[in-house]
Structures are given as structure tokens and as C-alpha cells.
């Protein structure tokens, strides 16, 4: 079975630009969560969507937004990029249970 897929793998953007990251969950999973992982730190929770409804939001500015589509795939959008947004962005799909979350390989975003 295919795991969680994320695209693109790597991305380089300039300060002030906008970026869209994509995540395809494992078939049958209705929950998608997004995490930001800065080098040397643990992942930080950004959003969770379950059945296309937002179920949680982390302590991130309004420049960060997300949505989930009817096929349960998801997009994370970040506007007005800052240097500090450079990180690995991880997507996790699951059934909604804490112990049933499967992480994708991540998108490495570099903001210059």
C-alpha cells in the first residue's frame, strides 16, 4: 500500500513569496495533520483536519492556512514567507487516533 505522499520534496522560495505544499493521505484515512520541524527541534503542530473540518490549530500566524479536499488530500499554504519559515514540513494521515498517525517524508522548504 502507498504511504503518505508529499509534494514537492524540496522547494526554494524568496522572502515575501507564497508557497503551497500538498499531501495525499493513505487510502481510507480521513485525518490529515501538518507539522513544522525546524532543524534541531521536534515537529511543531500547525493544523489538523478531519473529514474536511479543522480539528486543531497550533500557535502559528494567520499567514499559515490549510484545507482538506473531498478526497481527503490536503494543502498547506504559507503567505508572505519569512526566513524563519525555512523548515521541514511534515504531513501525517490517520484515522484520527493519536497512535494511528503515519507521517510522510516531508517537504524541505528553504526561504532565501
Residues that bind another protein (CB under 8 A): 4, 31, 33, 35, 41-45, 48, 50, 55-56, 58, 90, 92, 94-106
Nearer to another protein among residue 44 and residue 65 (C-beta) = 44
- Residue 107: exposed, middle, or buried by beta-carbon count in 10 A (0-12, 13-18, 19+)? buried
In the complex, what is the shortest distance from the CB of residue 21 to another protein, in angstroms, rounded to a whole number?
14
Tell me whether residue 64 or residue 102 sits nearer to another protein (CB atom): 102
Taking the complex as a whole, the smallest distance from the CB of residue 17 to another protein amounts, in Å, to: 25
Contacts of 111 (CB under 8 A, 6+ apart): 12, 13, 14, 15, 81, 82, 83, 84, 85, 86
Amino acid at each position: 500500500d502507498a504511504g503518505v505522499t508529499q509534494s514537492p520534496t524540496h522547494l526554494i522560495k524568496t522572502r515575501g513569496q507564497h508557497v503551497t505544499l500538498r499531501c495525499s493521505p493513505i487510502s481510507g484515512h480521513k485525518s490529515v495533520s501538518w507539522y513544522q520541524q525546524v532543524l534541531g527541534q521536534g515537529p511543531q503542530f500547525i493544523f489538523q483536519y478531519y473529514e474536511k473540518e479543522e480539528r486543531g490549530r497550533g500557535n502559528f500566524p494567520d499567514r499559515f492556512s490549510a484545507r482538506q479536499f473531498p478526497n481527503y488530500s490536503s494543502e498547506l499554504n504559507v503567505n508572505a514567507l519569512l526566513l524563519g519559515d525555512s523548515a521541514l514540513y511534515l504531513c501525517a494521515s490517520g484515522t484520527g487516533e493519536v497512535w494511528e498517525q503515519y507521517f510522510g517524508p516531508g517537504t524541505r522548504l528553504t526561504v532565501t
